[in-house]
């Protein structure tokens, strides 16, 4: 690392990148909110300091030189790192300003984020949340490596050494196609009723699959070979008569609307998962993440769907289909 003065400033690098993007000194000056003579003078100083000509220009066009192209790409990296440095400093004084990278598993994201994201934007207008969707194990590794600040997952999965705040419980329900005998009953489902039924589940790697298997372990249900990659696909396969499945209550309003499904609750103690925000132990962002979890918990509770039940019209269609 050099301890002497540098022959350029960050502002000069910004000007060089702007010219490379616009291929015009005048347009670059407009973007940088400076006069063209000032921008040109700063770029001349940059070229003199580096000892390299960055641009060729005539009356018709501006082009980066071969050496200039390589130096400008390196300048982009320097400016990106400078932005990161400013962001880190800003977050040190106000962790809820700037950007946070938060992972979320696919069986939660399409159903929870429409409830939670608007609440976070309203509460923290200076905060930008970058949501990354992936399976639990991938999110756990990214969190451990520092690529994520936090993640929304189900606590029943193997998560490693993390701190957490619970967001809420998400009960499972039984989803069947129209006309299926299990879907036509009104009483809460008991595990014994799943004996010998054809069961559709998600693919390997989804923690929801493992939770469903654990619940059905003693029911002698038959898992079918088809394994869905999403809850939407799973619901459509059930609606098409492929079998029955367990859906999280969080997804019922969306998936039951898309597909003709009969929904039954389970008898207590009903199977469920626990939604939570997790982060690395000793993370300096812990106080801020607890605030986010509190907002997410309130938004989840305020928009929670009522206890799922089958639409009476679907119930009648199901009865007709069973005849």
Contact status, residue 78 vs residue 8, Cβ threshold 8 Å: no
Model-wide pTM > 0.75: no
Residue extent(s) of CATH 3.40.190.10 domains in the chain: 98-167+273-302, 172-272+307-322
The radius of gyration of the chain's CA atoms, rounded to the nearest angstrom, is 28
Per-residue model confidence (pLDDT) at position 3: 62
Per-residue model confidence (pLDDT) at position 259: 79
Q: What is the mean pLDDT of the chain?
A: 86
Could you tell me which residue, 303 or 82, shows the higher pLDDT? 82
Confidence check: pLDDT of 144 > 70 = yes
Q: Tell me, which fold does domain 10-93 have in CATH? A: Arc Repressor Mutant, subunit A (1.10.10)
Peptide bond into 269 cis (omega under 30): yes
Out of 120-124, 164-168, 181-185, 212-216, pick the least confident: 212-216
Per-residue model confidence (pLDDT) at position 182: 87
CATH code, 172-272+307-322: 3.40.190.10
Beta-strand relationship, 150-154 and 98-104: parallel
pLDDT tens digits along 260-318: 899 999 898 888 899 999 999 888 888 899 999 999 999 999 876 555 555 555 555 54
Per-residue model confidence (pLDDT) at position 170: 92
Per-residue model confidence (pLDDT) at position 132: 96
Q: How far apart are CA 107 and CA 113, in angstroms?
A: 11
Per-residue model confidence (pLDDT) at position 1: 58
Beta-strand relationship, 198-202 and 222-228: parallel
Q: If residue 222 lies in a helix (H) or strand (E), which one and from where to where?
A: strand 222-228
Residue extent(s) of CATH 1.10.10.10 domains in the chain: 10-93
pLDDT tens digits along 207-265: 777 777 777 766 767 677 777 778 888 889 889 888 888 889 999 988 887 878 999 99
Contact status, residue 265 vs residue 176, Cβ threshold 8 Å: no
Secondary-structure class of domain 98-167+273-302 per CATH:
alpha beta
Q: Is 125 helix (H, G, I), strand (E, B) or coil?
A: coil
Concatenated DSSP letters of 193-240: GGTT-EEEEEPTT-HHHHHHHHHHTTTT-EEEEEEESSHHHHHHHHHT
Q: How far apart are CA 235 and CA 200, in angstroms?
A: 9
Per-residue model confidence (pLDDT) at position 113: 95
Per-residue model confidence (pLDDT) at position 80: 82
Residue 199's DSSP bridge partners are 223, 244
Per-residue model confidence (pLDDT) at position 260: 83
Confidence of residue 138 (pLDDT cuts 50, 70, 90): very high
39 phi and psi angles, rounded to 5 deg: -65, -45
């Amino acid at each position: 690392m050099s301890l002497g003065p540098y022959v350029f400033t960050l502002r000069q690098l910004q000007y060089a990148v702007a010219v490379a993007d616009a291929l015009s000194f005048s347009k670059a000056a407009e973007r940088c909110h400076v006069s063209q003579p000032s921008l040109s003078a700063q770029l001349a100083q940059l070229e003199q300091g580096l000892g390299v000509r960055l641009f060729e220009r005539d009356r018709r066009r501006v082009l980066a030189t071969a050496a200039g192209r390589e130096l400008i790409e390196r300048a982009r990296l320097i400016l990106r790192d400078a932005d990161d440095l400013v962001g880190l400093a800003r977050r040190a004084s106000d962790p809820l300003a700037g950007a946070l990278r938060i992972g979320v598993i696919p069986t939660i994201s399409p159903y929870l984020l429409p409830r939670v994201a608007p609440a976070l934007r309203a509460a923290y207008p200076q905060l930008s949340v970058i949501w990354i969707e992936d399976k639990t194990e991938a999110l756990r590794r990214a969190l451990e490596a520092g690529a994520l600040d936090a993640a929304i997952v189900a606590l029943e999965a193997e998560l490693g050494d993390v701190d957490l705040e619970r967001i809420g419980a998400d009960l499972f329900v039984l989803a069947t196609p129209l006309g299926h005998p299990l879907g036509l009953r009104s009483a809460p489902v008991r595990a014994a009723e799943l004996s010998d039924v054809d069961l559709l589940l998600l693919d390997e790697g989804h923690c929801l699959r493992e939770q469903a298997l654990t619940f059905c372990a003693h029911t002698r249900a038959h898992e079918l070979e088809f394994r869905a990659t999403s809850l939407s696909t799973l619901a459509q396969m059930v609606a098409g008569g492929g079998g029955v499945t367990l859906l999280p209550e969080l997804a019922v309003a969306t998936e039951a609307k898309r597909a003709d499904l009969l929904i039954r609750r389970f008898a207590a103690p009903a199977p469920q998962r626990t939604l939570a925000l997790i982060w690395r132990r000793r993370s300096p962002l812990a106080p801020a993440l607890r605030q986010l979890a509190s907002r997410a918990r309130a938004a989840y509770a305020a928009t929670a769907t009522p206890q799922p039940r089958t639409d009476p019209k679907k119930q009648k269609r199901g009865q007709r289909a069973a005849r």
